[in-house]
Amino acid sequence: MAKLGFGGRSVLTRKSNESMRIIISTVIGIVLGYLIGISFPTVSITKLHFPSSIVSYIEDRNSGLTTQTLLNHAWDSANRNRNNSTSNTDDTPKIYVPTNPRGAERLPPCIVVPESDFYLRRLWGNPDEDLIVQQKYLVTFTVGYEQKNNIDAAVKKFSENFTILLFHYDGRTTEWDEFEWSKRAIHVSARKQTKWWYAKRFLHPDIVARYEYIFIWDEDLGLEHFDAEEYIKLVKKHGLEISQPGLEPNNGLTWQMTKRRGDHEVHKETEERPGWCADPHLPPCAAFVEIMATVFSRDAWRCVWHMIQNDLVHGWGLDFALRKCVEPAHEKIGVVDAQWIVHQVVPSLGNQGQAEKGKAPWEGVRERCRKEWAIFQTRMSDAEKAYYLSIGISPPNSTVT
Ligand SMILES: *[C@@H]1O[C@H](CO)[C@@H](O)[C@H](O)[C@H]1NC(C)=O
Ligand SMILES: *[C@@H]1O[C@H](CO)[C@@H](O)[C@H](O)[C@H]1NC(C)=O
Ligand SMILES: *[C@@H]1O[C@H](CO)[C@@H](O)[C@H](O)[C@H]1NC(C)=O
Ligand SMILES: *[C@@H]1O[C@H](CO)[C@@H](O)[C@H](O)[C@H]1NC(C)=O
C-alpha cells in the first residue's frame, strides 16, 4: 500500500459523494467515447470527439441531466454520424505492433509507457512541472518500527538524489511520520515478509528503471562512516555492477571478502581459509558480496530480479549466485572499503517467526533459511543442466558453488 501523500486521502474522504459522481461521470464519458469511437473510426484515430454537451455535463457535477437522456443523446449522435460515413468503416487499418510489450500490441507505440518510477507527483498544476528533482538512485530498507532511530540515522546518509523506499514488516507506517523525511519516502506495508519478498514484488526492473543504482539494505546497519554519494563515485570509478560497503569486523562472523580493508578504496578478491576456494575467481574468494547491504547497477538488477524465486524469501544462496548476472564477475563485483558500515546483528525479522515444538522463533527461521539455500542450489543446477541438454551439449561438471 503506497501512502497517498499531501493529505489527499482526507480530502477525498470528505468529498466522497462528489468523488463518486466524478467517477460515474468519467465512466459514462469513457463508454460514450467508445461508442462514438467504434461508429466513427476516422475520428478515433486522432482524438476522441465528445459532443460539447457531454463535455460540459462531465465538467458540471451539478447538472440535472440523467444518465438515460445522456445515453439517448449519445445514440442519436452516433447514428447520425454512422449515417454520414457509411462506406469508410473498413478503411482504417487495425493497429498491431508485434514489437510492443507483450499484451500491448494493439496500442500505437508512442503511447506505450513500459517503465515507471517512484517519483511523487502533485495533484494540481502542469504534470511536466511536478518534479523538482528526479532522483537517480533508489535505497530501500526493510524495517520494523523498533529500529526507527537506526533507520533515521541511516537515511540521513543518503542525499536528495535518492528515492527512499521503506518496506514495513510490522504493519506500522504512520508512526514514521515523526521524521521529516518520512513524508517524501514511499512506504510499503505487508506483514512479516522478508527483504527479497518485497524486492521481488515491488522492485520489478521496469518499475525501477529510472534508477542508476539500487540499494537493497537491511535495517541493522551502522552508517556512521558511510556517505552514499561518495560510495556511488567509487562504484562508478571501479566499474562495480554489484557491490557492498566494507564491513567493520566487529564480530568473527563475516566472510574475508566483505571485511573492510583499511588500505584500499575497493577490493574485488581475497584469500579465504585453506580449501574454501577451488578457484580464486569464484566465491567466496571473489565475485561475491553478501545480501545484507547489496548495491546493484540498473543492468545487474534486471538480471538478479529474474533470479529471485517467489517462494525462497530469505534469499540464502543468492550471494553465491550473483556472479551469474555479470561478466566477468570477478571484476564487476566488489567491496567498497573507503565507505564502510557496521553490521549490528539485531535479530529483527528472525524474531517474527513462530515458536514451534519448543523451539524459539528464530530457530525456525534459521532452519527455513538453510532449507531454502539447498532448494535454490538444486534449482539453479537443474536449470543449468536443462539448458545445456536443450542445446545438445553435456553439462559441465559443476556450475553451482
Ligand atoms: C441518412 O440516410 C438516409 C437514408 O439513407 C437519408 O435519407 C438521410 O438524408 C441521411 N441523413 C443525413 C443527415 O445524411
Ligand atoms: C452529415 O452530413 C451532412 C450533410 O453532408 C452534414 O451537414 C453534417 O455535418 C454531417 N454530420 C456529421 C456529424 O458529420
Ligand atoms: C545530486 O546530483 C547532482 C547531479 O548529479 C549533483 O550535482 C549533486 O551534487 C548531488 N547532490 C549531492 C548532495 O551530492
Ligand atoms: C567431469 O566429469 C567427468 C566424468 O564424470 C570426469 O571424467 C572429468 O574429469 C570431470 N572434470 C572435472 C573438471 O572435474
Å from CA of 164 to ligand 3 middle: 16
pLDDT score at 6:
44
Query: How many angstroms separate the CA atoms of 154 and 322, rounded?
Result: 25
- What domains appear along the chain, each with residue ranges and CATH number? 8-111 (no CATH), 137-347 (3.90.550.10)
Å from CA of 188 to ligand 3 middle: 27
pLDDT score at 62:
52
pLDDT at 187 over 70: yes
Nearest CA to ligand 3 atom 7: 161
Nearest CA to ligand 1 atom 11: 83
pLDDT at 167 over 80: yes
pLDDT score at 34:
57
The ligand whose atoms approach the alpha carbon of 395 most closely is: 4
The ligand whose atoms approach the alpha carbon of 136 most closely is: 3
The ligand whose atoms approach the alpha carbon of 212 most closely is: 3
pLDDT at 123 over 60: yes
Rounded to a whole number of angstroms, the distance between the first and last alpha carbons of the chain is: 38
Mutate to test the pocket of ligand 1, among 81, 82, 83, 87 (most ligand atoms within 8 A of CB): 83
pLDDT at 142 over 50: yes
Under the banding of pLDDT at 50, 70 and 90, the label for residue 5 is very low
| Residue percentage of the chain with pLDDT more than 90 | 65
Average pLDDT over residues 23-43: 54
Report residue 221 CA to chain centroid gap: 21
Å from CA of 232 to ligand 3 middle: 11
Closest of 132, 154, 135 to residue 143, by C-alpha? 154
Q: Over the chain, what is the mean pLDDT?
A: 84
Under the banding of pLDDT at 50, 70 and 90, the label for residue 250 is confident
Q: In this predicted structure, which of 27-36, 157-166, 183-192, 250-259 has the lowest mean pLDDT? A: 27-36
> Across the strands, what pairs with 342?
222
More confident residue, 341 or 25: 341
pLDDT score at 44:
45
pLDDT at 169 over 50: yes
pLDDT at 153 over 60: yes
Q: Is the distance from the beta carbon of residue 159 to the nearest atom of ligand 3 less than 6 Å?
A: yes
Do 156 and 176 form a contact (C-beta atoms < 8 A)? no
Query: How many angstroms separate the CA atoms of 258 and 271, rounded?
Result: 11
Nearest CA to ligand 1 atom 8: 83
Q: 577490493: which residue's cell? A: 267
Closest of 135, 152, 134 to residue 143, by C-alpha? 152
pLDDT score at 26:
59
pLDDT at 71 over 90: no
pLDDT score at 10:
46
| pLDDT tens digit sequence for 266-303 | 999 999 988 889 899 999 999 999 999 999 999 999 99
pLDDT score at 2:
45
Q: In this predicted structure, which of 98-112, 248-262, 287-301 has the lowest mean pLDDT? A: 248-262
pLDDT score at 1:
45
Mutate to test the pocket of ligand 3, among 211, 229, 339 (most ligand atoms within 8 A of CB): 229
pLDDT score at 3:
44
Average pLDDT over residues 383-392: 94
Query: How many angstroms separate the CA atoms of 177 and 193, rounded?
Result: 22
The ligand whose atoms approach the alpha carbon of 398 most closely is: 4
Å from CA of 213 to ligand 3 middle: 14
More confident residue, 353 or 112: 112
Average pLDDT over residues 241-257: 86
More confident residue, 206 or 68: 206
pLDDT score at 361:
80
Do 162 and 138 form a contact (C-beta atoms < 8 A)? yes
Of the ranges 8-12, 19-23, 78-82, 120-124, the best mean pLDDT one: 120-124
- CA 84 to ligand 1: nearest atom: 14
